[in-house]
Amino acid sequence: LAEELDVPMMMHVHETAGEIQMAVGNTGERPLTRLKNLGLLSPRLLAVHMTQLTEDEIALVAETGTQVVHCPESNLKLASGFAPVEKLRKAGVNVALGTDGAASNNDLDMIGEARTAAFLGKGVSLQADALPASEILQMATLNGARALGRDDQLGSLEIGKQADMVAVDMNRLETQPVYDPVAQLIYAASRDQVTHTWVGGRCLMENRKLTTLNEAVILKNAQQWQEKIAGADRD
């Protein structure tokens, strides 16, 4: 159906060792092998997490053009394991950066996620030069667009693409002096330094004020849901 409709597919794959053990017990196959036999490994598939990979599986992902979405903070919070991002990258796999959901990554902060991915990639590979800041920035932008099959429209600032932009104020004590803006963004900046966002050229946040959403209403709704969920837990 995905082939017929020309749409991508996304699923969590090889997220935990327990998931793989269960799959082998139920089907006799590791999930990636089963997906391959079902014809689902292709550039159309976004495989999220991928913390449990053998060398042969990394080669299989590269061979089939399967896209990988790396969610390091979710993996850390749930003790899922570590994605071999540097090995995947060197094998030619497109690795994008994600946050996973709020239940397993509370802040959904892409700048924080980028920093964690950079540090974790170095630690896992035991290489200080692994996953340089420029590569992490690409994972958070163009690689994500590529994984979605929309890199002709999104992911970089080019004529003919959508004007999706974020402005980050580096004129703070925490991010001065700036020698390399990309390195400073990944290793030193924080999300509260994002001042403006544009999607398709439309300003959605201006000087840290939302332009299309009512913050008071959002806060009220959040508090109502908090009370409702807390009440359900008590019951």
Q: Which 3 state secondary structure label does DSSP give 217? A: helix
Task: Determine whether 5 is exposed, middle or buried from the number of CB atoms within 10 Å of its CB (0-12, 13-18, 19+).
Answer: exposed
Q: Are the C-beta atoms of residues 19 and 39 closer than 8 Å to each other?
A: no
Residues 137 and 197 in one domain: no
Sequence length of the chain is: 235
Residues 122 and 195 in one domain: no
Residues 52 and 94 in one domain: yes
Question: What CATH number does residue 32 fall under?
Answer: 3.20.20.140
Residues 100 and 178 in one domain: no
Q: Are the C-beta atoms of residues 49 and 75 closer than 8 Å to each other?
A: yes
Residues 182 and 66 in one domain: no
Give the C-alpha separation, 203 to 75, whole Å.
33
Question: What CATH number does residue 230 fall under?
Answer: 2.30.40.10
Degrees, nearest 5: CA angle 117-30-99: 25
106, 136, 157 — which closes off a domain?
157
96, 123, 157 — which closes off a domain?
157
Q: Are the C-beta atoms of residues 32 and 73 closer than 8 Å to each other?
A: no
Instruction: List pLDDT tens digits, range 103-120.
Output: 999 999 999 999 999 999
Structural domain that includes position 44: 1-157
Give the C-alpha separation, 199 to 195, whole Å.
14
Residue 234 is predicted with a pLDDT of: 77
Residue 107 is predicted with a pLDDT of: 93
Which helix or strand (DSSP H or E) is residue 146 part of?
Answer: helix 142-147
Per the structure, how many domains does the chain have?
2
pTM of the model: 0.93
Low-confidence ranges of the chain (pLDDT < 70): none
Residue 233 is predicted with a pLDDT of: 76
Q: Which residues pair with 125 in a beta bridge?
A: none
157, 185, 212 — which closes off a domain?
157
